[in-house]
Structure 1
Amino acid sequence: MKGKDYKACLLLGGNMNDVQSTFVQVLAQMEEFSDVLKASGLYKTKAWGMEEGTPDFINQAVIVGTPLKPEALLSKLQQIELDFGRVRKNGDDYESRTIDIDIIFFEDYIIRSEILTIPHPRMQERNFVLVPLVEIAENWKHPVLGKSVKQILEESIDSLEVIAVDES
């Protein structure tokens, strides 16, 4: 990519259709505007905050290099979500989805706007974010908490089990 490359940590998640195949396709689409520098393995967790019987979620953390600023990156990621059938509903209810792409970190930026909050406001409460992130960015420092991702995971009180998915 030409120009200044920013580094961002993203989290992919989904629990509908063939999630692994969706992730491969999503990462290929991201290559149009960023370089995927690192990707964690895949991890499965029970559907957090959702009713019993909801399919498990699969998550993957990635680090990308991109010339895009945070809001432009968000816009591109939301377009990918739409392309893969993601429908956002108003409200705070959690729901099944084909793909969810969250910006966890963008460099060491702290952003609090109507459309974007970086670092992700609840990442430190969720092992399904922290476990894959530790795999590829254990020393990335949270710009608000002043702790590494590894430290945050070590101090996590989330009891939700995060299981590595056999990708063979």
Structure 2
Amino acid sequence: MSTDTTDELFRNAMARFTNGVTVITTANSGTPFGLIATSVCSLSADPPTVLVCVNRSASAHDVILRAKVFAVNLLSADQKDVAQRFASEKGPSRFDPAQWRAGKSGAPLLTGSVVSLDCKVIATHNGYSHTIFIGEITDSSTHDDPSAHCLFWHQRHFAAAAVEAR
């Protein structure tokens, strides 16, 4: 067992964590921006808030700072194609207009996602290579099918949960 903390060892260790795959979105003058993120978690229920860690080099980073809004879209296991599009394409071509609608804030919400959270930025914090955005949830929607399962990222691959029959 190695105890060295090189960049590669750190990345390998973090790859062992299983996380839901989210697309963080925002918009600027009607143009959508977004990125894949797995560093998303609940912060508080009162007020309802989430935190999202966004790399400062991401194209959506500065747009979120200016717009002061973002949406968190938790992908369903059936939306692997959306994740692959965000991983391989750049800019607005990532957004298929048939799959997205504008939330109350103007941030794009993914139709059919397990959950979409429309948020306003209430605080930012320095996270070294990332900015930690604290978002107050102003609106939310959930998948019509409560048994819809989310897409996971584990060991640098997309995965779906193996669900036991009830």
Quick check: TM above 0.5? Answer: no
Structure with the higher strand share, 1 or 2 = 2
Structure with the higher helix share, 1 or 2 = 1
Q: What TM-score do the two structures reach when normalised by structure 1? A: 0.28
Q: What TM-score do the two structures reach when normalised by structure 2? A: 0.28
Computing the radius of gyration from Cα coordinates, the structure with the larger value is: 2
